[in-house]
Amino acid sequence: MSRIGHAHINIPAGTTVEMKDGVVTVKGKNAEMTQTIKEGFELKIEDGVLTVTRPSESKEDKALHGLYRSLINNMVIGVSEGFKKQLELVGVGYRASHQGQILDLSLGFSHNIMMELPKEVTVETLSEKGKNPVITLSSHDNQLLGMVAAKIRSFRKPEPYKGKGIKFVGEVLRRKAGKTA
C-alpha cells in the first residue's frame, strides 16, 4: 500500500492554503487554484508544513488520501513555480509555429493541424537549423498541461522503426529492427 498521503507538503513563502466547506484554495504569485475534496478530510498547517489527514481507515479513504495529497502538492508547486513540458518533432519536414494561443503543426499530412490552446497554457516554439523543432508548454495547472501535451503527441505518435513523430524531450523510445535483406 502506498504511503503518499502521509508525506508532508512544504508551503513556500508567499503561498497561502485555505480550506472552507470542502474546497481547498491555494493562492500564490502565479495563480489561484481550487479543488473540492471529500467530506471528512482535514488539512493541518503548522510552521509552513501542510499535512492531509483521512477520516477513516476504509479502502476508499486510503486511496483518496494519497490522491488529495498529490493534487494539493501539485497546486502548491503550480502557483509558486509552475510546470513545463517540452515536445520534440522528429521527422523530415515536421515544423511547429505559434501565433498567440494557436499552435500550427506541419506533420506530413496533406494539411497543417491548427490547435487552439487553453488560456492557462503558454506555448513557445523553437526551430533551429540542424535540430529538431521543440514545443515548450508551461502552465500552473499540471493536469491541464499533461492533457494538452498528450493531445499534441497523439497527432503523430513516435513509430518504433525510425522514431519519427512527436515525443517528449528525454523520452526513450523502444526501437525495432525492421526487415532484414
pLDDT the model gives residue 179: 84
* 150: pLDDT strictly greater than 80: yes
pLDDT the model gives residue 100: 92
Residue recorded with cell 491555494: 26
pTM above 0.95, yes or no: no
pLDDT the model gives residue 178: 85
Domains 4-80 and 83-168 are alike in CATH topology: yes
Mean pLDDT of the chain: 92
pLDDT the model gives residue 30: 87
pLDDT band at 148 (very low <50, low <70, confident <90, very high): very high
Q: 3, 108, 120, 126: which is closest to 54 by C-alpha?
A: 3
- The pLDDT tens digits for 51-70 are 999 999 899 998 899 999 99
* 3: pLDDT strictly greater than 90: no
pLDDT the model gives residue 181: 59
CB 139 within 8 A of CB 120: yes
- The pLDDT tens digits for 5-39 are 899 999 999 999 999 998 999 999 989 999 999 99
* 1: pLDDT strictly greater than 60: no
**3-state SS record for the chain:** CCCHHHCCEECCCCCEEEEECCEEEEECCCCEEEEECCCCCEEEEECCEEEEECCCCCHHHHHHHHHHHHHHHHHHHHHHCCEEEEEEEECCCCEEEEECCEEEEECCCCCCEEEECCCCCEEEEECCCCCCCEEEEEECCHHHHHHHHHHHHHCCCCCCCCCCEEEECCCCCCCCCCCCC
CB 148 within 8 A of CB 92: no
For 4-80, CATH gives: 3.90.930.12
Task: Delimit the domains of the chain by residue range.
Answer: 4-80, 83-168
The topology under which CATH files domain 83-168 is: Outer Surface Protein A; domain 3 (3.90.930)
pLDDT the model gives residue 2: 63
Cα–Cα dist 143/136, whole Å: 16
